[in-house]
Structures are given as structure tokens and as C-alpha cells.
Amino acid sequence: MKTQYGVSGECADGYAGVKKAFANNFTAGPEADIGAGCAVTVRGELVVDLWGGSSDLDGSRPWQADTIVNVWSMTKMMTALCVLMLHDQGKLSVDEPMATYWPDFAAAGKADVLVRHVMGHTAGLPVFTEHVDDRMVFDWDACCARLAGQEPQWKPGDGSGYHAETQGWLLGELVRRVDGRTVGNFFREEVAEPQGLDFHLGLPDEHHHRVAAMSTAAVIPPPETPDGIARRQYRSLGLVNTPSWRRSEMPASNGHGNARAAALAMATLANGGVAQAGEQAGSLRLLSAATIERAFEVQADGVDRILGIPLRHGIGYGLNTSDAPLGVNDRTLWWAGWGGSMCVVDVENQMTVAYAMNRMLDDGDLRGVHVIYAAHQAIANEKGSNP
């Protein structure tokens, strides 16, 4: 393996601690980053934009400014933004049943499943209840039909069970039926292109050469069950580095982008709904303040049935709790991607922090957390307070 490449990019005065925390991730022994990027926005301005390491697994290709990577479930933050935009535009309501927009979804006792139930992981459809093989996950209509025909596994709205993959098909089909575009096209045309953001839900082939290879070796699958359901998501590990995975739309799990694009996309939530990047800086409003407030409405607060850990879910985003303290105040929205990617929106301080990498780690991974808390400390220093 070649020598690890150093950290590159820009870091504003006062944010040296973020750069130090990020650089330290590359020296953490067997759990050190191979390649990664991190970014921080404050009041819509990009104050940290760093990258380093290697975009391949043998250390021969440096991570570049335009390197992108699969961020797994951090993708859900982008998909939730699209649904909230449609709510804001009056094209759907998060309080309406899914079946209002998708009539077939009412089957098998789901007539009362609300849009916000799906966004808050309380809809009772966390997995496919019948076997779905690797080929079917690329068949959008088949997956949506399968979910439309399933019974909820618990009373919708009664606590959460993480919809790791299924939320993507559920919300993606909702967007398609309401807007006519796939969620990938909606995000590209309404969010990414106007701001010049390098984030994709469905990656065109001409960009595949920029994708960092994903190291999955440290992720340990759970024991197999008779129906194979527990390991459905884990089979995606074998797909993540393939062209088929990259070009498909998996709105819950296969967004490809970098930390810069993620932080700038989520800055809309931190800035009262106004996008602050690109040529239309300050003039592109994606959300109203009232719709952002809806994201803070608690949908579930307790031990998640699937993940087995305490979580507080809002509408589309995780909320800050003492059990998952990724923020320093209650005005925090966040989510993380499998293996380590992470993004936090601190609405009180108008700050976003994003971290994306290509070495997946299992439980106990603190790489993104170190970067996030260094950013919290930088804001606290600016204000002369403790984080």
C-alpha cells in the first residue's frame, strides 16, 4: 500500500479544531480512515471543506475535491427534504394517509398509514416480509407493489422500527405519484442543479470514475434467520461497488455525493428554508420556516424495534437526545449512514456538519462524531460559551 495522502481543502479561521479532528481520523490504527471528506456550513457559508486519504482501497489514488462516495442512509436526509418541499408546496400533506396519493397502498390494513408515519419509521413496514433477491431490489415497480401489499407489523404510529431500505421505495413512490418525477430527478432539478451540488440519487455512468471504492470488511452480518429477512440489507454490501448499484435510485441508501454537497443541501434546514449556495445564493427558497418546524415534531421516542437502541424520530430526521447526543441543543436534526457517514443540522446556530468516508466500521465508530463536536466547539468559541 502506498503512503497515505494528506488532508487538503479549506478551513476558515476558528475551525482549526475541525481540521485536527478530521486529520486524526487517518491515524487511528486499524480503524483509521482510508479516504474521507468533511464540511461545515455556518449561516449558509462553507467554512470547512476538507478531504484526504485514498479513494481506492490500495492507497494508489488520492481522494480529490470532486471524489464522491455512497453515503448509505445519510441519503434519507435528501429524500426527506424532497418530501417536505412537496408538503410546503401543497402537493401533499405529511398528515394525510399514504393511500390518498397511492390508492393501492391501502391494502392489507394500511389505509390509515400517514405520510409522517413513513417519514418517522413508525409505519410498520421496516422490511419485506417475503424474500427479495438482489435482482428485485433494482425492480422499482416490483418492490413498491410488494410493500403496498404487505400488512403492517405493528399498529402504525405506535413506536419506531427503522425502515432501513423500505423507506426509500415508500417515499420515492410517493414523490413519483404526486410530482410525476422520480425522487432522484426531483432532487436533481429542484435542489442539486440550482445550487451546483454534487449529490446524486441515481448516478449517471459518466460519474462512476469519481466514486470512491467502499471497504465493507469491518461490517459483520447478523446471524441468518429462516426467512433471510435480517440479512437483506447486508446483501447490499456485495452490491455497493457495482455499476448497477450506483446508477439505480435507492432513495434510502445509495445517494452518492461528498460532504460538501451534503452540508450545503442541508443548510436549507439551518437557514430558515433558504438555500445559500450557487449562483442563486440567498434567493432560492426551498422550504418555509413553518415546514421546518414540522420536522421537529416527535413521531417516536424510545427503543427502536429494529435497531434495538433508543432513538427520537421527527418527521424525516432524527432528533437530539441524551441517548444519541449528536447536537448540543434541542434544535438539532440529523441522520447517519451505515458504516460511518453522518450529517447534523444545528438550526439554533445555523450550522451543518457532514462527514463521508469509504471505510465502513461497525458499532463504536466515533470518526464523524469527533468532527461534529469539533464544529460545535468552534461555534461555542465564537459565542464565548461552552458547547
pTM for this predicted structure: 0.95
Is there a domain that residue 124 lies in?
Answer: no
Nearest CA-CA partner of 363 in 333, 339, 346, 343: 339
> Looking at residue 24, what is its pLDDT?
96
- What integer is the mean pLDDT of 315-338? 96
Is there a domain that residue 119 lies in?
Answer: no
Is there a domain that residue 174 lies in?
Answer: no
> Looking at residue 229, what is its pLDDT?
47
Is there a domain that residue 261 lies in?
Answer: yes
CATH value at residue 322 = 3.40.710.10
Q: What are the tens digits of pLDDT across the range 180-205? A: 999 999 999 999 999 999 999 999 99
Is there a domain that residue 149 lies in?
Answer: no
Range of the domain at 329: 7-90+183-383
Q: What is the mean pLDDT of the chain?
A: 93
Structural domain count, the chain: 1
Q: What are the tens digits of pLDDT across the range 228-262? A: 445 556 778 889 999 999 999 999 999 999 999 99
Is there a domain that residue 129 lies in?
Answer: no
- What integer is the mean pLDDT of 312-320? 98
Is there a domain that residue 34 lies in?
Answer: yes
